[in-house]
Structure 1
Amino acid sequence: MSAVPDRRHPSLLDAIGWEVTKLAAQLRARLTLLICAVAPVLVVVVIKGQQRPPKDSLYGRYIHHSGFAVPLLMLGFAGQWVLPLLTAIVAGDIFASEDAHGTWKTVLTRSASRAQLFWAKTITALAFAVTVLLVLAASTILASVLLVGHQDLTGLTGQVIPSGTAARLVVESWATAVAPLLGFTCLAILLSVRTRNPAFGIAAPVVLGMVMQLAGSLGGVEAVRPFLLTTPFESWHGLLAAPHFTSPLVSGLVTSAGWCVVTLAAAFVLLTRRDITEG
C-alpha cells in the first residue's frame, strides 16, 4: 500500500511566517525602516545648526544645552502625526491589500482559517509598529548624543538631571509611546478591514490623530481628553518632573488597551463574517 502523505494543517506560526515574508518583500516597509534610521540623523544636524531654538516647543529651548533634550523635542513632535503615519503604512494596508489585489480566495486555500489569518496579520502589523519605534528611537537618541553631547538635562520642573539618569529617562520616555502606538495600529487594522481601501486605511489614522490632537487642545474637554488615543503620547512628562508622577502613564495604558481591545474585536467580527466571493 502506498503511504498516504501527511498533510499538516498550517499553524498560527506558519501563517505569521507567511505574513512576515510578504512584509519583508515590500519595498514600502523596507523604505519606512530606512527612513526611521536615517531621517533622525538629518533632523539632529539641522536642529544643531539652528541659531534660534524653537522655544515655544517643549524642550526646544534646551536643544543646544544637552543632547538629551533633542530626543524629547522630537518625541513630542512624533506623537502628533509621525508615529500614527509610520505604523499605518503597514497596518492600514495589511488587510485591504488582499481586497485590492483580489487575493482573499488564494490565501484562504492555504487551509488556514480566517481567525489564523487575522491574528497572523495583526501580530505582524503590531511587530512592525514596535520595530519602527525601536529604530526611530535608537537613531534619534544616538544621533543626538553623538552630535550634540551628553550634558546634564534640565527637567520640566527646573531640576538638574545628571547625564546617566537623563539617558535612562529619555529611553523610558520613548518607551511610553509603545502603548498608544499599538492603539493606532489596531485602529488602522480596523479601518483596513472595514473600508477595504489601502489609501483610506493609511491616511485615516493620521487624520483622526490630528483631530484628536486638536480636540485635546481645546478648552472644556477635560472629561473627554483622557479617552483620546493621542493623550497617552504625553504621559512621559511625569517622568521628567520632580517628584515623578505616573498617573498619566497608568491612565494612558488603560486608554490604549481599551482602544486595542475594541478596535481589534470589531475588526475580527467584520472579517470573520465577511462573504469573500470575489477575490
Structure 2
Amino acid sequence: MTATATIADDNAVSTRRVSVARGYRFELVKLVSQWRIRLLVLACWIAPALFVAAVSLQSTLPSDTLFGRWMHATGWAGPLVVLGFAGTWALPLLTSLVAGDVFAAEDRLGTWRHLLVAVRSPQRIFAAKALASLTVILLMVAGLPASSAVGGVVAVGNHPLVGLDGHLLAPGDAAFKVLLAWVCVLAPTLALAAIGLLGSVALGRSPMGLLLPTLVALAMQLTQMLPLPVAVRLALPGYAFIAWNGLFTSPEQIGPLLIGIAVSLVWAVTATALAYLLFLRRDFTNLTYDNSGRRAITTGLLPLVALVGVTVAVVGVATPSMGSGIDQGKVQRSVATAFAHLYRMQTQQLNRPAVTEAQLRATAACNKSGGHVAPQGAGNDWRCVVSWHLPGIQVTGTAIYQLDVTANGRFIADGDGPKEVNGFFLVRTPAGDAPNPLWQFDGNVELLHTTPKG
C-alpha cells in the first residue's frame, strides 16, 4: 500500500502543470541566453551615450532632426534626438527581433511537443512567452533614454532646453518631459510587440512573421507622410511616435498624444488577443504546421483591418477634423509665438535691454506659394513675415522666414533676412560667437484645435 501510494503521489507531481512564474523564468532565460539578444541589450545601454556624446562634440549638428540643433546647448536634447530615431527604426526592429521570433523559434527547432509535455498548458506557455518577450523589450527600451541622457549631460551639461515654441524649459522640467516622452512611446511599442506576437504565431517559421512589426511600422510612417485627414492620422497606432512633440510646447498639446496612446493600447490588446486565439487553435501534432493558411488571414489580418475602420470612425466622431489641421491662422500663431520666445533669447545673448513677449507684440503674416493657392496644408512653399515692436522705438521690426511644414504639423522656419536678425548662423556676443536662435528654428502646429494667444 505504501509503495502504491508513493507511485500515485509521484505521478500526481509529474503531471502537475508548471506555473506561469516558472514558465516565465524559463522563457526569459532562453531569450537572454541568445547572443543576438545580449548584443541588442548591450547596444541599447551603451551605443546611445557614445552617439550623443560624439555628436555633441562635433562642430556640425543634425539640424534637420528635431532638437538636433540644440545638442551643443544642453544634454537633454540628445535623448530626444535618439527618441526620434528610435521611433522610426530602432523600436520596430527591437520588437521584430524579440516578439516576432519568440514563437517562431519553437517551430524552427521543432520543440513544441517537448514544451507541451513539460508545461502541459498552452495558455501558460503563451503567457510565459509573452511576458518574457515584454520584459526583454522593456529592458532594451529603458536603456535608450538612460544611456543617451547620461551621454548628453556628461558631454554638454545639465542646461535648459529650448522647446518647440521657443520657450525655455528649466533643466529639471526638461528632464521630466524627456522621461515622459519616452514613457509615452511605450504604448506604440507595445502595439508593435503585440503585432510581432501575432506574426510569430500566425506565420510560424516563415521569416515574414519576424519582419511584420518592422513592415507595419514602415507602412504607418509612409501613411503619415500622405495628405490625410487628421482623424485618420490619429487613428493609427504609429502616431504616438510623433505626438510626444506636443509635450514641448506651452501650453502642452496633449490631445493628439492621449488619443495616440489610447489607440496604441487598443491595438496592443487586440493583436495579443488574436495571437492567443490562434495559438490555442493550432495543431501541435503536425510538425509541418505553420499556421499560414486561411485561419491566419481570417483570425489575424481581417480583424486588424476592421480595427482600423473602427478607430477612424471613433476618432472622426470624437475629433470632427477631416481636414489637414494646418491652416493660415495656426501657422501664423505658431511662428509668432516661437519668434517672440527666441527673440528674447537673442536679446540676452547680445546683452541688450530685456524685453517681454507682451512688449514685443509679435505677429506673423503667412501665405502659401506667394498667395496663389489656399493657405492651408503641408508644403515647403510657406512664407511668413514676422513683425514686432520694441519699447521706445517707433519703427516696426520685420523678418522673413521660409517654412517647410510637414503633414504632422512640424515645421522648420529658415531665416531670409534681415541679416542683423536672422541672416547668419552665428551672432557675435560679448563671450564670443554663438549660434543664432533666430537663424533657423523648429515649431509645431496644433492639428486638433488652436489655443489662442494670451
TM norm structure 1: 0.95
Matched, 1:25 2:33: yes
**By percentage of residues, which structure has more helix?**
1
The alignment partner of 2:164 has SS state of: coil
Matched, 1:59 2:67: yes
Q: Deviations over 1:176-204 (max 9, x none)?
A: 11111111100111011111136323322
What amino acid maps onto 1:252 in structure 2? G
Q: 2:258 aligns with which of 245, 250, 259?
A: 250
State the 1:108 CA deviation: 0.2
CA distance in 2: counterparts of 1:198 and 1:53, whole angstroms: 41
Question: Any stretches of 5+ residues in structure 2 without a counterpart?
Answer: 288-454
Instruction: Tell me what 2:270 maps to.
Output: 262
Higher relative contact order structure (alpha carbons within 8 Å, sequence separation ≥ 6): 1
C-alpha contact (below 8 Å) 1:92/1:198 kept by paired residues: no
Q: 2:80 aligns with which of 65, 72, 80?
A: 72
Instruction: Report % sequence identity.
Output: 37
Displaced runs of 4+ in structure 1, greater than 3 A?
none
Q: Which segment drifts farther, 184-193 or 61-70?
A: 61-70
What amino acid maps onto 1:145 in structure 2? V
What amino acid maps onto 1:88 in structure 2? S
Instruction: Tell me what 2:138 maps to.
Output: 130
Matched, 1:194 2:202: yes
RMSD (CA atoms)? 1.5
Q: 2:127 aligns with which of 119, 125, 129?
A: 119
Q: 1:92 aligns with which of 86, 92, 100?
A: 100
CA distance in 1: counterparts of 2:274 and 2:229, whole angstroms: 27
Instruction: Tell me what 1:104 maps to.
Output: 112
Q: Deviations over 1:131-173 (max 9, x none)?
A: 1111111111111111121111101111111111111111111
C-alpha contact (below 8 Å) 1:87/1:132 kept by paired residues: no
State the 1:60 CA deviation: 1.5
CA distance in 2: counterparts of 1:165 and 1:97, whole angstroms: 44
Q: Which segment drifts farther, 227-236 or 118-127?
A: 227-236
What amino acid maps onto 1:208 in structure 2? V
The alignment partner of 1:223 has SS state of: helix
Matched, 1:175 2:207: no
**By percentage of residues, which structure has more strand?**
2
What amino acid maps onto 2:125 in structure 1? L
State the 1:78 CA deviation: 0.9
The alignment partner of 1:57 has SS state of: coil
Q: Which segment drifts farther, 219-228 or 260-269?
A: 219-228
The alignment partner of 2:26 has SS state of: helix
Matched, 1:50 2:43: no
TM norm structure 2: 0.59
User: Equivalent residues in 2 for 1:199-238 (5 A)?
Assistant: 199-238=207-246
CA distance in 2: counterparts of 1:205 and 1:28, whole angstroms: 18
Q: Which segment drifts farther, 37-46 or 150-159?
A: 37-46
Instruction: Tell me what 1:12 maps to.
Output: 20
Q: Which segment drifts farther, 250-259 or 222-231?
A: 222-231
Q: Deviations over 1:223-259 (max 9, x none)?
A: 3211222111123212111012321232122111111
Q: Which segment drifts farther, 49-58 or 99-108?
A: 49-58
The alignment partner of 2:260 has SS state of: helix
Instruction: Tell me what 2:285 maps to.
Output: 277
C-alpha contact (below 8 Å) 1:87/1:128 kept by paired residues: no
CA distance in 2: counterparts of 1:103 and 1:146, whole angstroms: 47
CA distance in 2: counterparts of 1:66 and 1:170, whole angstroms: 12
CA distance in 1: counterparts of 2:146 and 2:120, whole angstroms: 37
CA distance in 2: counterparts of 1:96 and 1:227, whole angstroms: 30
State the 1:52 CA deviation: 2.4
What amino acid maps onto 1:219 in structure 2? P
- Larger Rg: 1 or 2? 2
The alignment partner of 1:245 has SS state of: coil
The alignment partner of 1:206 has SS state of: helix
C-alpha contact (below 8 Å) 2:237/2:261 kept by paired residues: no
